[in-house]
């Protein structure tokens, strides 16, 4: 607008008559100077206006900061009993107004330092608690990965794995993975958390994994089933059977493997203390198990020959359908006598219906006597998973001493029954789990394992024993297995023992122990029977 005005004025001046004295200000130069001065004044005015607005804003912000401080000082001067609390509140207000919130630390100690402290923890050595309890995100990931690596390492012993699992529980990793598995946003995240819980193998994750069985995504459900198999806890059997009925599309191989792991291979009852420990006699050395012949008598159940209701129930089993036999098997649990145990044992071993065999195993558990031990072990190796599950639940609920029960099977069972029990122990993993207990510092656990392996020897199932002597890494366990054969005295083992002695890799102490067993077996062999006629003097043909 000013330029247009200047052009118009210049044109008007040129058209007007020239006056050198009074109209110089209306010349081209005068108008240009006037416009420049006006432009400079406008710039100065805008700058002044901007500075004034900024000064007003700073005054307002200054009052916002100083007013809380003034109130705090007034509170202190008026007799506040805790000035430190007020100063702390003042600092918090300042942070809320001006300071940027502090970001979470990514790393404090580093992966190398964390690995060092985890190694100390696993070995049971003193370690830095502040390192293990670090809340930095990178440190947390490194701690979890290092503990999982220790659990999965073949160099970590059982006690070290227990310490690593306890650390994962204590420092919140199990709870975090459980929460992620249940509340994760996508199926991949929940499935990864379920897999991590299976790797950890902590018993506290059982409830999380059982809840994950009801996840809407099939991938998460299948991973939860697999992780439950890693836990190997019989308490999961009921939930697994229930989810199998709800979701028939679950792979049968996966479900069967997990049920077998929970009901057969783990058998946590081996870790549970028996109700009445069978202590070794005082005159037996700690290194040598007591003679099994000392268990010569047991408290037997009543015969129950005069029980009319029991007789009626047993008679009704003949010709009844599957549902009726299962109901009668449950009814036999109300009669804790020898006839009931014998009938239920027959059902476990020979009834064609899995539901009947399962009910019979449960009734044997209700009777809870040493005489039920053999059929329950046989049920543990049944071809039907519902029977195996029932046997696992029954086995964990039995309260009698297991070492005495093994000896009772040896003393009272016929050869066929003893062989079936021995085969069931091998098939279900009880023998594999009891191998290391042969050399346990716990005398009762050692005697229980010794009784189990003696049962194998009596039943002529000696392959697991000779495999321990040949291949086990612990020399003490090998020597204990040799002592089992020494007590059993099986002459049929002589060829196999001679083969073991001839191996160059055999430790000298084990070789010596096997040679002692061979010498004893040779001494126990009967002498050749000679007839009276064979004892007559002999003469040479060329003698006179």
In whole angstroms, give the CA distance from residue 7 to residue 13: 10
**Domain limits at 45?**
1-16+24-72
Q: What is the pLDDT of residues 116-171, one digit of tens each?
A: 888 888 888 888 888 888 888 888 888 888 888 888 888 888 888 888 888 888 88
Closest to 132 (Cα-Cα) out of 113, 149, 105:
113
Cα distances from 387 to residues 347, 406, 412, in angstroms, run 12, 21, 25
Assigned domain for 41 exists: yes
If you search the block for the tokens 């009445």, which residue do you land on?
Answer: 276
In whole angstroms, give the CA distance from residue 535 to residue 323: 71
Assigned domain for 12 exists: yes
- The domain tally of the chain equals 1
Assigned domain for 488 exists: no
CA within 13 Å, CB half, 495: 1
Q: How many residues does the chain have?
A: 544
Listed as ranges, residues in the chain with pLDDT below 70 are: 1-29, 50, 52-107, 263-298, 524-544
Assigned domain for 29 exists: yes
Assigned domain for 482 exists: no
DSSP, res 280: P
Cα distances from 370 to residues 188, 338, 350, 364, 411, in angstroms, run 49, 11, 21, 10, 12
Closest to 175 (Cα-Cα) out of 140, 217, 205, 131:
205
In whole angstroms, give the CA distance from residue 521 to residue 371: 32
Measured at the CA of 191, the angle between CA 190 and CA 194, to 5 degrees, comes to 90
Q: Decide if 519 contacts 489 (C-beta within 8 A).
A: no
Please give the distance of CA 224 from its chain centroid, rounded to a whole number.
12
Assigned domain for 51 exists: yes
SS3 318: coil
Assigned domain for 160 exists: no
Q: What is the pLDDT of residue 1?
A: 53
- Cβ atoms within 10 A of the Cβ of 356, count? 25
Q: What are phi and psi of 69, to 5 degrees?
A: -65, -40
Cα distances from 67 to residues 58, 87, 147, 476, 484, in angstroms, run 14, 14, 53, 80, 88
- Helix/strand number for the chain, H first, E second: 27, 0
Q: Would you state the torsion angle of the CA atoms of residues 164, 169, 172, 176, taken in this order, to the nearest 10 degrees?
A: 100
In whole angstroms, give the CA distance from residue 83 to residue 95: 19
- pTM exceeding the 0.85 threshold for the entire prediction: no
Assigned domain for 61 exists: yes
Tokens read off for 163: 């310490």
């Amino acid at each position: 607008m000013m330029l247009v005005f200047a052009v118009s004025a210049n044109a008007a001046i040129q058209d007007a008559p020239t006056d050198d004295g009074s109209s110089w200000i209306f010349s081209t130069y005068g108008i240009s100077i006037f416009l420049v001065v006006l432009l400079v004044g406008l710039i100065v005015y805008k700058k002044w206006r901007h500075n004034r607005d900024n000064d007003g804003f700073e005054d307002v912000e200054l009052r916002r900061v100083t007013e809380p401080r003034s109130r705090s000082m007034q509170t202190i001067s008026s007799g506040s009993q805790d000035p430190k609390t007020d100063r702390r509140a003042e600092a918090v207000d300042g942070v809320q107004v001006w300071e940027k919130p502090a970001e979470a630390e990514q790393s404090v100690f580093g992966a190398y330092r964390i690995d060092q402290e985890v190694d100390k923890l696993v070995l049971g050595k003193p370690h830095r608690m502040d390192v293990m309890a670090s809340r930095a995100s990178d440190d947390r990931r490194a701690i979890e990965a290092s503990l999982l690596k220790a659990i999965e390492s073949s160099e970590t012993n059982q006690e070290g794995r227990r310490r690593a699992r306890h650390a994962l529980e204590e420092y919140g990793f199990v709870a975090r993975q459980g929460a992620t598995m249940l509340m994760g946003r996508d199926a991949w995240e929940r499935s990864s958390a379920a897999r991590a819980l299976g790797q950890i193998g902590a018993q506290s994750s059982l409830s999380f994994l059982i809840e994950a069985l009801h996840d809407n995504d099939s991938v998460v459900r299948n991973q939860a089933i697999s992780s439950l198999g890693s836990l190997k806890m019989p308490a999961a059997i009921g939930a697994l059977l229930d989810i199998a009925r709800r979701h028939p599309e679950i792979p049968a191989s996966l479900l069967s493997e997990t049920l077998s792991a929970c009901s057969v291979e783990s058998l946590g009852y081996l870790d549970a203390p028996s109700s009445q420990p069978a202590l070794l006699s005082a005159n037996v050395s700690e290194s040598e198990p007591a003679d099994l012949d000392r268990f010569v008598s047991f408290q037997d159940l009543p015969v129950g020959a005069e029980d009319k209701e029991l007789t009626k129930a047993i008679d009704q089993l003949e010709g009844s359908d599957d549902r009726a036999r299962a109901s009668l098997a449950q009814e036999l649990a109300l009669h804790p006598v020898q006839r009931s145990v014998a009938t239920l044992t027959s059902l476990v071993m020979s009834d064609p219906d899995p539901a009947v065999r399962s009910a019979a195993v449960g009734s044997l558990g209700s009777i809870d006597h040493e005489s039920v031990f053999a059929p329950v072990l046989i049920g543990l190796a049944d071809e039907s998973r519902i029977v195996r599950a029932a046997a696992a639940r029954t086995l964990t609920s039995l309260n009698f001493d297991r070492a005495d029960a093994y000896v009772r099977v040896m003393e009272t069972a016929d050869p066929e029954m003893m062989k079936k029990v021995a085969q069931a122990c091998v098939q279900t993993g009880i023998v594999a789990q009891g191998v290391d207990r042969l050399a346990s510092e716990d005398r009762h656990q050692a005697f229980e394992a010794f009784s189990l392996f003696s049962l194998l020897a009596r039943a002529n199932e000696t392959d697991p024993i000779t495999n321990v002597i040949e291949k086990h890494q612990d020399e003490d366990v090998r020597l204990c297995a040799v002592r089992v054969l020494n007590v059993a005295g099986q002459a049929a083992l002589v060829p196999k023992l001679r083969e073991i002695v001839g191996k160059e890799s055999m430790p000298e102490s084990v070789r010596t122990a096997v040679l002692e067993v061979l010498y004893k077996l040779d001494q126990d062999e009967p002498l050749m029977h000679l007839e009276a006629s064979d004892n007559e003097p002999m003469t040479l043909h060329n003698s006179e």
